[in-house]
């Protein structure tokens, strides 16, 4: 998943903003630094959505002059899971029942800092009637 970012040249470097994720704002001393900081800010901003149990806006198409910043695949899968849980009004406890695990396990699955196997996320999505698909572009 790639989010479009706007890099604005400032006197002392670049400011980075994301129109889809307004919480993600950062800066860098030069273009390369700004791009590296952009991914870090994007990942960090996802925590706000997970903590508040709010849907994460999916990325819109990039506009001319924007840079595409990659959200790692493991986090992308967790974003899709969170959004589906919210859409279906499914709690961690209910999802735990559906995939036959303790609620604490679901808390780890939806924790961005916890490394979760992609198969586990796929199983959780299947319990919600969805299928995780991967492709190479």
Mark residue 45 as left, alpha or beta (left: phi above 0; alpha: psi -120 to 50; beta: remaining): alpha
pLDDT (tens, 9 = 90+) of the chain, 137 residues, equals: 899 999 999 999 999 999 999 999 999 999 999 999 999 999 999 999 999 999 999 999 999 999 999 999 999 999 999 999 999 999 999 999 999 999 999 999 999 999 999 999 999 999 999 999 988 87
pLDDT, position 135? 83
Strand partners, 13: 10
pLDDT, position 137? 78
- DSSP single-letter state for residue 21: -
Per the CB < 8 A criterion, the answer to whether 108 and 116 are in contact is yes
Run of H or E including 109: helix 103-109
pLDDT, position 90? 96
């Amino acid at each position: 998943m790639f989010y479009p970012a706007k890099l604005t040249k400032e006197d002392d470097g670049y400011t980075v903003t994301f129109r889809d994720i307004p919480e993600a704002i950062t800066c860098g001393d030069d273009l390369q630094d700004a791009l590296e900081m952009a991914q870090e800010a994007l990942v960090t901003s996802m925590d706000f959505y997970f903590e508040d149990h709010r849907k994460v806006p999916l990325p819109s198409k990039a506009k001319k002059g924007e840079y595409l910043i990659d959200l790692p695949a493991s986090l992308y899968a967790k974003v899709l899971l969170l959004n589906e849980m919210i859409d279906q009004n499914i709690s961690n406890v209910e999802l735990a029942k559906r995939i036959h695990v303790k609620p604490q396990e679901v808390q780890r699955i939806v924790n961005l800092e916890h490394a979760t196997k992609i198969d586990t996320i796929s199983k959780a999505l299947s319990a919600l009637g969805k299928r995780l698909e991967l492709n190479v572009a």
